[in-house]
Copies of this chain bind each other. A is one copy, B any other.
Amino acid sequence: MLNQLNILLREENLRVTPQREAILKVLYDCRGHHLETENIYELLAARSEKGKKIGLATVYRTMELFEKIGLVSRLSMENLPARYELILQTKLIHHHLICLKCGCVQEIDDKLAEDFKNRIIDQTGFEVKDKSMKIYGYCSRCREQVKNKR
């Protein structure tokens, strides 16, 4: 895993730093979860020896970098902070249903999504971001709450 980071960074003439490795480790240990930058920052702080904290700005910068080199997938929430998830080799393609209210994330059948995505590209030339389609809406739980409010 750290090897992969090494290779990707080398490709772009970027440096391997303890901070980047530590962040990648956190992401790996939380694989399957979708972490806010702030979460990552706190987890790093909890792990670090006293007096050796990684700056919040560094975490933001690193997440931006990791997304650019294809290590993580970024989910933009409506009002909530964005979330990141490590992209694992064993599961390169995954598509998300993201609740704009509570931020929960469900996944949908890859074949179904791929089929749809292909049809969109055929018809319009629009390419859904990277290998991960993100469909925003409301999960069943939140939809109930919205209905009750109205």
Measured between C-beta atoms, what is the minimum distance from A20 to chain B in Å? Answer: 18
Q: How many residues of A contact B (CB 8 A)?
A: 31
Q: Contact between B127 and A140 (Cβ–Cβ < 8 Å)?
A: yes
Q: Which B residues touch A57, using CB under 8 A? A: none
Complex CA gap A137/B73 in Å reads 12
Residues 103-120 of chain A, each 1 if its beta carbon lies under 8 Å from chain B, else 0: 000101100100010011
Extra pairs beyond A108-B120, A112-B123 (17, CB < 8 Å): A12-B150, A76-B76, A76-B136, A97-B124, A97-B126, A100-B129, A106-B124, A108-B123, A112-B119, A116-B116, A127-B138, A127-B139, A127-B143, A128-B135, A133-B135, A134-B136, A136-B136
When all copies of this chain in the complex are counted, the total is 2
Judged by a CB distance under 8 angstroms, whether A125 is at the interface is yes
Q: Contact between A135 and B135 (Cβ–Cβ < 8 Å)?
A: yes
Q: Which B residues touch A138, using CB under 8 A? A: 126-127, 129
